[in-house]
Amino acid sequence: MTLAVGVIGTGVMGAEHARLLRSSTSGAHLAAVCDADESRAKAAAQGAAVFTDAHALIASASVQAVVIASPDATHAEYALACLAAGKPVLCEKPIAATAAEGLAIVQAEAALGRRLVTVGFMRRFDPAYVEMHSARTSGRIGNAVLLHNIHRNLSAPDWFTGAMAVTNSFVHEIDISRWLLGSEMVTARVTSAPGGDPMMVTMQSDKGEIVSTEVHMNAGYGYHVHAQMVGRLGTVEMAAPTRVLTNLAATQSFDFPPNWVPRFTEAYRLQMQAWVDATLAGRTVGASAWDGYVTTAIAEQIVDGMTSGGQITLTFPLARPALYA
């Protein structure tokens, strides 16, 4: 028997996770889907059971593990229900809409005494980020001193405000920076262009590494994520996000993807396979509930302090529980 997975929320991300479970993941199958909009759930089900109530899906005896891909505001409630039911869960980022809700998930999991939550920070499975990570952990570029991140979107709707750019987009940069450097962030400073976009966020880690990130929601030319790590011996950075180069009319060129789905297709697939493999083996993989909480706590403190333009000292009310050592 393969792992029976239920997917909650079958919009852009949930439909992709459902597709991966149906066609590209070994050891698992899509057992159920749930969406508040039943027609969306039915479109993604393709033979799987259909629910419109997420709690009914989580409680269902035919679901062994859960993927949460409904809106951010629903994550904490459903993740806590998965913990109460003792079911492993892959929860899309962010773990919760607020740090307090994220902390509640950490505390519930710590009380349970076993890890069931993975947060869908899929960049940890992206082949380019994985190579950059190993360039540091192998010692090849020496001790890291700087990390430059670029996060550019083609365009964003008007309601995607500066605060949302931090809590919904920049959270990826917080998580990948902590993971690439193996460090905790201790300070942050935000400088915004007129109108609020782009913004530059500069963080410093507990080891003194400097992390600079351009968060640019209306870059105009495509979806572009880039990172360069500077070590004492050398640097490592992503190559252009392309498989082919076109030579035409005296110019060499490649296309940028319009959004994150094509750019991170392989990362989503590898993440799903790794999560299924770990779940079947009784382990967890990827970003933990603690990582999810810290990331949301940092984002929240940056939003609270960003209008001042001064240095923000990042604090956490809880020391890392032993479960996440």
Ligand X SMILES: NC(=O)c1ccc[n+]([C@@H]2O[C@H](COP(=O)([O-])OP(=O)(O)OC[C@H]3O[C@@H](n4cnc5c(N)ncnc54)[C@H](O)[C@@H]3O)[C@@H](O)[C@H]2O)c1
| Residues engaged in binding ligand X (CB under 6 A) | 8-14, 34-37, 40, 54, 69-72, 74, 92-93, 120, 122, 168, 260
| 138-to-23, 132, 181, 231 alpha-carbon distances in Å | 35, 10, 12, 12
Q: Which amino acid makes up residue 116?
A: L
Nearer to ligand X, 54 or 306 (CB): 54
Minimum Å gap between C-beta 101 and ligand X is 13
Nearer to ligand X, 153 or 284 (CB): 153
Closest CA to 75 of 52, 105, 50: 105
Minimum Å gap between C-beta 32 and ligand X is 12
Nearer to ligand X, 10 or 273 (CB): 10
Nearer to ligand X, 205 or 295 (CB): 295
Minimum Å gap between C-beta 253 and ligand X is 26
CA distance 195 to 323: 43
Minimum Å gap between C-beta 70 and ligand X is 4
Minimum Å gap between C-beta 109 and ligand X is 19
**What is the DSSP-derived secondary structure letter of residue 170?**
I
Minimum Å gap between C-beta 128 and ligand X is 15
Nearer to ligand X, 62 or 307 (CB): 62
Cis preceding-peptide flag for 198 (omega within 30 of 0): yes
Minimum Å gap between C-beta 166 and ligand X is 13
Return the structure tokens found at 279: 């779940």
The residues pairing with 248 across neighbouring beta strands, listed in sequence order, are 251
Residue 296 CB contacts under 8 Å (≥ 6 apart), including other chains: 94, 95, 96, 98, 99, 102, 167, 171
Contact in structure between 79 and 68 (CB atoms under 8 Å): yes
Contact in structure between 204 and 187 (CB atoms under 8 Å): yes
Nearer to ligand X, 40 or 136 (CB): 40
Output the residue with the shortest Cβ distance to ligand X: 11
CA distance 144 to 154: 30
Length of the chain: 325
Contact in structure between 202 and 212 (CB atoms under 8 Å): yes
Nearer to ligand X, 8 or 188 (CB): 8
